[in-house]
Amino acid sequence: MSRVLRRTAFIACAGVALLIGCGSSSPAPLDRATDAHGGGVGSGGVGSAGAGSADPGDANAAPDVDCDGLSAELQGALDAAVEAQRLPGAAAAVSTGGCRWLGAAGVADAEDNVAMQPDDLFRVGSITKSFVAALALMLHAEGRLSLDDAVSRYVDGVPRGEQISVRQILNHTSGLFDFTSCDEFWSAALDDPTHRWTPAELVALAASKPPYFEPGQGFAYSNTNYIIAGLVVEAASGEPVGELLRARVIEPAELAHTYLDGAEAAVPGLVHGYGRSRGQLVDTTSAIDPSAAGTAGALVSTTGDLTRFYRKLLDGTLLGPAELAELTTWVDAPLGEVNGYGLGLSRRESQLGVEYGHDGSIWGFTSSSYHAIDSDASITVLVNLESGDAGRIVDELSNVLIMP
């Protein structure tokens, strides 16, 4: 098991599943842009009212949309993707043109051959970062923290914390070393998989290594940033981050199946996650305690909840106009298909137009969730294989939506 975990992704960089600690994403020069928005197999179904139904929450639903036909095409594409990538399973959600489709393919438990269901729970890795950034922006709106505050105002033990701003933590321009690139972290995590990590331990690991660059002088995706971000919002609010997430984001967005693992009681129904060793599946669902991911990647959710979250994050339900502008102030981010990173949010080009969301990878799982504002299309894909390519499936489902 340790050989599988050591060479596969832990908490992936936005935009592409990369090796441990996002090591293949070299630090890049900082290029800030200030434009906001303007700049089992066959188990799918559409809508809560049954296959082929229009989304009842979409007042602009087109009356001539063939939701039944779209459902069949999306399910076929998902089935084909699971087969092509040799995945144990995957679940997906698509919302567009008045149709809402939830689908699944493959298995949630390979040993007992349990079919995947559209509303199954997955670890979603770095998608957690969008939730934590939303919290920070809410506190910013209330004057409880400033994005330009030094992190040393809230958190002790951060190297050059007096020079690093909260904003630089949230958009990965701090230069802080990624603790998931530390051999010491992996040795300890694999020697004692039940060890409960404290944020201070994870920050100390990063502090033992030299920074990538001076604060604000480049971009380097680092999970350390979001461990610190969790500590910042706790210090600014005086509340535990798990309780804050539930009260300020999860419940207001009506996310019925989402929780921060390790900070809240687990909800039954988490699918099994897998790695591969010598061509064989290895169950890595609980290979490391979720505290090792914390506010950088410990969230558990469903395709439906994540699709709802990004829509509400971007439509002004959760954040006001000023905070949305901060959220979508981009720095150049050379992360695969991602070409910009805001505050816990990725931007990428697609055939549906500019998309906003995030990708994630954690032991046993990969994830990708994006919303294209101009085309009003949302796609979320969750995969229970840590070497799976959820983002590729997002693109394949996008192709279905643009077919004549």
Q: Which residues are catalytic?
A: 126
Please give the single-letter amino acid code of residue 116.
Answer: M
Q: Which residues contact 72 (CB under 8 A, 6 or more apart)?
A: none
Confirm if 235 and 193 have CB atoms less than 8 A apart: no
Q: Where are the beta strands (DSSP E) in 82-167?
A: 89-96, 99-109, 114-115, 122-123
Confirm if 104 and 43 have CB atoms less than 8 A apart: yes
CA distance 157 to 206: 10
Strand ordering across the sheet containing 122-123: 122-123, 299-301, 259-260
Residues linked to residue 365 through DSSP beta bridges, in sequence order: 362
Confirm if 180 and 11 have CB atoms less than 8 A apart: yes
Question: What is the H or E stretch that residue 69 is in?
Answer: helix 67-85
Token pair recorded at residue 379 = 């796609």
* Cα 255 to Cα 107, 154, 196, 249, 372, distances in angstroms: 24, 29, 27, 8, 20
Q: Which ranges in 155-198 belong to alpha helices (H)?
A: 166-170, 183-191
